[in-house]
Amino acid sequence: MPFSKDTPVKQRAVIVAGVRTPFVRAFGSLMTLNTIALGTAATRVLLEKLGSAGTQIDGILWGGAILPSATPNVGREIVLDSGIAPTVEATTLSRACTSGFIAATEAAAMIERGEADIMIAGGSDSTSNAEVKMPPSFVHKTAPVVMNAKSGVKDYFRLLFNLSVRKDLLPQRPSIRERTTKELMGEAAERMARFWGITREEQDAFAVQSHHRAAAAMASGRLAQEILTVALPDGKAVSTDDIVRPDTSIEKMARLRPAFAKEGTLTAGNSSALTDGAAALLLMSEEKARALGFEPLATFRSWAYNAVDPADQLLIGPAISMPLALERAGMSLKDIDLVDIHEAFAAQVLCVLRALANDVFAKERLGRDSAAGELDPERINIHGGSVALGHPFGATGIRMLLTMANELKQSGKATALLGICAAGGQSVGAVLEAV
């Protein structure tokens, strides 16, 4: 829904708490936990925070991009595994990298409409456990024989001779590739970088900054307060992110090879890594929060979802959705204290920043005479971003909301602007304000 400051509401929705697992590189220490187990770990912490009020949860909204085919309603499985009453309804939302974010805005909308008082919104993904699938041709050829009770030995022998090892029997590797354009997301980001004139040096510098800021936030304890310790089946535990590189440098980044084009500018170092992780937020009506003794952290002032043609500039969406969110909030960039933009790639963030300051882009994409404006680098991703922290698709939006809500509360600042790009040319922008 196009929520704005002018939308009539019955009660104000506030973020009161949140938690996330460590964000760990795919096929690393969290590999044995699937997306349900990761989400359950985060949800149980929120249940502990709720105490006896846990019986008052109205519902769960969960986001994910890599959904298990046997149990695609991940949120419902989390309810059943976490100790929440089985009568609590749960819905799973899938909108690529914005999946967790839309879970949060929909939970807020339910509360604002008076349909709920306590909601959990979260997101998780385990790239390590992405399903390896057989080619569709394998199913098309085998199903008529296997599913036919009258099939005999001759039918099975005929089937075997009809199967091609290369076309029918080799499993398909999961790929972050657009269905319509067949383009990898990194390839699309390379095109954007060329269009906006973003250099390799600029990308590497931004990536180094992201790592250094994330490392500083970890060293100060700022991020540690958000991260739970995850117990593993083998008795070990994981308590810290493992992608952040405090000692990285421009020189180290420069030695990395292009990842998506022979003469390209995107590398593994200035791109977000495949990541496992989960994050969850506790949202309440402000009246309920104060009645239960919770101190609200932040509230949504506005949000805006948007989509662009994937064949054009796949990841430019935040340059549209963020100004729309500002407009719906009755604000401009100069009114914003903090900005948090999802770093799918350093190049993508830098392209978005260029577009926000470009009058031609504003006129063509937003129908405005002038651009939103330039952003002070000191206000952007002050605790690092996805390049340094990792990107478990469904969890990233929740992670960003949690970090910004905490930062508003602890810093005394008033507002934060958030933006996320996603596969399919989609995006979201939102304005958070302190309570």
DSSP state of 362: I
CA-to-CA distance for 266 and 379, rounded, in angstroms? 24
Residue ranges of alpha helices (H) inside 228-312 are 250-254, 286-291
- What separation in angstroms does the CA of 362 have from each of 162, 207, 341, 367? 56, 27, 19, 6
Query: Model confidence over 116-142: pLDDT tens digits?
Result: 999 999 999 999 999 988 889 999 999
Banded model confidence at residue 250, pLDDT cuts 50, 70, 90: very high
CA-to-CA distance for 306 and 337, rounded, in angstroms? 23
Q: Rounded mean pLDDT of 61-79?
A: 97
User: Which tokens hold the place of 126?
Assistant: 């385990």
pLDDT at 5: 61
Which residues are 92's β-sheet partners? 62
Which residues are 60's β-sheet partners? 90, 120
Q: Rounded mean pLDDT of 407-413?
A: 97
CA-to-CA distance for 285 and 13, rounded, in angstroms? 5
* Contact criterion met (CB below 8 Å) for 287 and 217: no
pLDDT at 432: 98
Buried b (16+ CB within 10 A) or exposed e, 292-323: bebebbbbbbbbbbbebebeebbbbbbbbbbb
Q: Which residues 6+ apart lie within 8 Å of 346 measured at CB?
A: 202, 203, 204, 206, 207, 210, 270, 271, 387
CA-to-CA distance for 18 and 16, rounded, in angstroms? 7
Is there a catalytic annotation at residue 383?
no
Q: Which residues 6+ apart lie within 8 Å of 378 measured at CB?
A: none
pLDDT at 105: 98
Give the domain 13-128+272-434 fold. Peroxisomal Thiolase; Chain A, domain 1 (3.40.47)
Torsions phi, psi of 238, nearest 5?
-125, 125
CA-to-CA distance for 60 and 90, rounded, in angstroms? 5
pLDDT at 99: 98
Per the prediction, the chain carries an average pLDDT of: 96
Is there a catalytic annotation at residue 421?
yes
Catalytic residue among 211, 212, 383, 421: 421
Q: Rounded mean pLDDT of 177-195?
A: 96
pLDDT at 2: 43
User: Which tokens hold the place of 241?
Assistant: 């992110």
Q: Which residues 6+ apart lie within 8 Å of 135 measured at CB?
A: 167, 168, 169, 170, 171, 172
Residue ranges of alpha helices (H) inside 362-415 are 386-389, 393-411
Which residue reads 């300051």 in tokens? Answer: 357
CA-to-CA distance for 432 and 334, rounded, in angstroms? 15
Torsions phi, psi of 248, nearest 5?
-70, 160
pLDDT at 410 over 70: yes
Which residues are 88's β-sheet partners? none
Q: Rounded mean pLDDT of 233-248?
A: 97
Which residues are 302's β-sheet partners? 431
Buried b (16+ CB within 10 A) or exposed e, 3-18: bbeeeeeebbbbbbbb
Buried b (16+ CB within 10 A) or exposed e, 163-172: eeeeebeeee
Q: pLDDT above 90 covers what percent of the chain?
A: 94
pLDDT at 302 over 50: yes
CA-to-CA distance for 426 and 313, rounded, in angstroms? 10
Q: Rounded mean pLDDT of 311-338?
A: 97
pLDDT at 1: 38
Catalytic residue among 97, 211, 342, 351: 97
* Helix, strand or coil, per DSSP, at residue 252: helix
Q: Please choose, from the candidates 269, 265, 299, 302, the residue with its C-alpha nearest in 3D space to the C-alpha of residue 285.
A: 299
* Contact criterion met (CB below 8 Å) for 313 and 37: no
Catalytic residue among 211, 342, 383, 391: 391
Q: Rounded mean pLDDT of 265-276?
A: 98
